[in-house]
A = this chain, B = another copy of it.
Amino acid sequence: MRTRKSAKEKTIEEIAEKIYTAILEHRLAPGTKLGEDRLATIFGASRTRIRDVLAHLANERVVDLIPQRGAFVAKPSVEEASDVFEARRLIEPGIIRRLASRLDSKMLASLREQQRKEAEALRLHDERAIVRLSGEFHNLLAELAGNTALIRCMRELSSLTCLTIFLYDAPTATSCRAADHANIVAAIAAKDSAKAEALMLQHLEAIEKSLKLEGARYFADLETIFQDI
């Protein structure tokens, strides 16, 4: 009964977290306008607070903040999407290498727990949770690896990946990824860093190739296309 009250949440971080997960679960579609007054009444907060929240989300790149226009759910372009994947191919093998070298039983338990959640979401066919948890898996790897700089990078990259999947992905691709995560965890648990890194690269390439980046371009960049003609 406590958490049922959708309004009257207090902390800035609570509000930010709610909008954040709403975006990552595709309850808020990319491009959606996030009006300040509207959010203020919804969360029972003042516009000042909402403004802080939106600024925070903008810095995590899940919303675009356009001057004199307002805040919109981020809508990564095709170029940004492939940039994100390229960055992930650089960073994530390094994260895995670091994690494998300092893995302990506590970390392994975290990974198992994460896998349990993913399996549960998959069992329930909860598409929204599946994609969100899939991103959280990669964040968890970074957090367990323990490099603060890489943690921040990964958080941003996985958020953008999440948005990209909703924008450009064929819905069939979501299901085939669960096994990938399990294989990666197995290789990490076996301290076989090389194998885990290779699996991660395959995983990332598989996701990127499953995206329909060409066809979607027509709709996404419509205005910029005609800008040049």
**A residues bordering B, Cβ < 8 Å?**
52, 55-56, 59, 61, 79-80, 83-84, 86-87, 89-91, 94, 98, 147-150, 152-153, 156-157, 160
Can you show 24 pairs from A to B with CB atoms below 8 A apart? A52-B55, A55-B56, A56-B59, A59-B59, A61-B152, A79-B148, A80-B148, A80-B149, A83-B149, A83-B150, A84-B149, A86-B94, A86-B149, A87-B91, A87-B94, A87-B150, A87-B153, A90-B90, A90-B91, A90-B150, A149-B157, A149-B160, A152-B156, A153-B153
Known contacts A86-B94, A90-B91, A149-B156; can you find 7 more A-B pairs with CB under 8 A?
A: A55-B55, A55-B56, A80-B148, A80-B149, A83-B148, A86-B147, A153-B153
- Chain B residues, CB < 8 A from A160: 149
Q: With both chains docked as a complex, state the minimum distance between the C-beta of A58 and any C-beta of chain B, in angstroms.
A: 9
Bound-complex Cα distance A94 to B87 (A): 8
Q: With both chains docked as a complex, state the minimum distance between the C-beta of A162 and any C-beta of chain B, in angstroms.
A: 14
Bound-complex Cα distance A164 to B204 (A): 33
Q: With both chains docked as a complex, state the minimum distance between the C-beta of A68 and any C-beta of chain B, in angstroms.
A: 13
- Chain B residues, CB < 8 A from A147: 83, 86-87
Bound-complex Cα distance A61 to B157 (A): 17
Q: With both chains docked as a complex, state the minimum distance between the C-beta of A206 and any C-beta of chain B, in angstroms.
A: 19
Bound-complex Cα distance A94 to B91 (A): 10
- Chain B residues, CB < 8 A from A83: 147-150
- Chain B residues, CB < 8 A from A94: 86-87, 89-90
Bound-complex Cα distance A56 to B149 (A): 17
Bound-complex Cα distance A55 to B148 (A): 19
Bound-complex Cα distance A33 to B61 (A): 28
